[in-house]
Structure 1
């Protein structure tokens, strides 16, 4: 791994002590699956999102099965973990996950990056969600 990659990993670890993609009690606090809606609007209209807290940022991608390993290798360079979710017709639904503190600029940049990567590999970027520890809104109802 390059020096820049190690520095990014170190910065990310400082931002997200203790939170992992598999942490218990994670709930979706923001989600963006409509490309016409700005990420800033998504975050502004997400009352459960805590802006100062780290979140598990999850991009939903649909990729050809023979390109999943390539996508995983590319994304791993920036600290993303790729997890297969299951079949999606002739493609595979995958989640790219990373823990970070979210803001509208970084959400938009990563959405664009994921769309470009998926397109280069013959797939689609479906959208993203953000997960933070907390109580599900339906659990209190």
Structure 2
């Protein structure tokens, strides 16, 4: 069932706002345009300092989580209900202050195409923190990617 939902998401599933997705989460032209890995920084501040972010265009919002390996499938099922795709992380994005995970923890990324605004980024951050806490994990932060556009 999980694979069916993932395929549907890639085939142009509609976002929560009812707008068609216009970018693919696997597009190789995607570049990180905003990062928010400091839990004390407001989403509005992160977006305000993002010089390459284009607010009028959809983005791939990615939340980075550390979860017990035994909880990944349950968390994935919950996230799929709201259109999130969950993938293993290769930790190339991890911050230096992030401790190494033990053998029974997994670093995962929940990603979804949507338009970014401070309210929704903050709401989703709170949701991801709650989800991680529920499964005895933690939310590392979020970033967003958009296709690189010529200047």
Using structure 2 for the length normalisation, give the TM-score.
Answer: 0.79
For 1:84, which of 78, 81, 88 is the aligned residue?
A: 88
SS at match of 1:88: coil
Q: Following the alignment from structure 2 to structure 1, what is the Cα–Cα distance between the partners of residues 39 and 20? A: 28
Q: Do the aligned residues in 2 keep the contact of 1:16 with 1:101 (CA within 8 Å)? A: no
Taking the TM superposition and a 5 Å limit, the aligned residue runs for 1:104-119 are 104-119=118-133
Higher strand share: 1
Do 1:27 and 1:131's aligned partners in 2 also have CA atoms closer than 8 Å? yes
State the match for 1:126 in structure 2. 140
Aligned to 1:14: 19
Q: Confirm or deny: 8 A CA contact 1:15 1:100 kept in the other structure.
A: no
**Alpha-carbon offset, residue 24 of structure 1:** 1.7
1:40 is matched with which residue: 36, 41, 44?
44
* 2:32–2:145 contact (8 Å) kept in structure 1: yes
- TM-score when normalising by structure 1: 0.84
Aligned to 2:97: none
Equivalent residue number for residue 99 of structure 1:
113
Unaligned runs of at least 5 residues, structure 2: 1-12, 91-99
3-state SS, counterpart of residue 112 of structure 1: helix
Greater CA deviation, 86-95 or 19-28? 86-95
Aligned to 1:69, which of 57, 69, 73?
A: 73
1:49 is matched with which residue: 49, 53, 56?
A: 53
Structure 1 gaps of 5+ residues are 1-8, 136-141
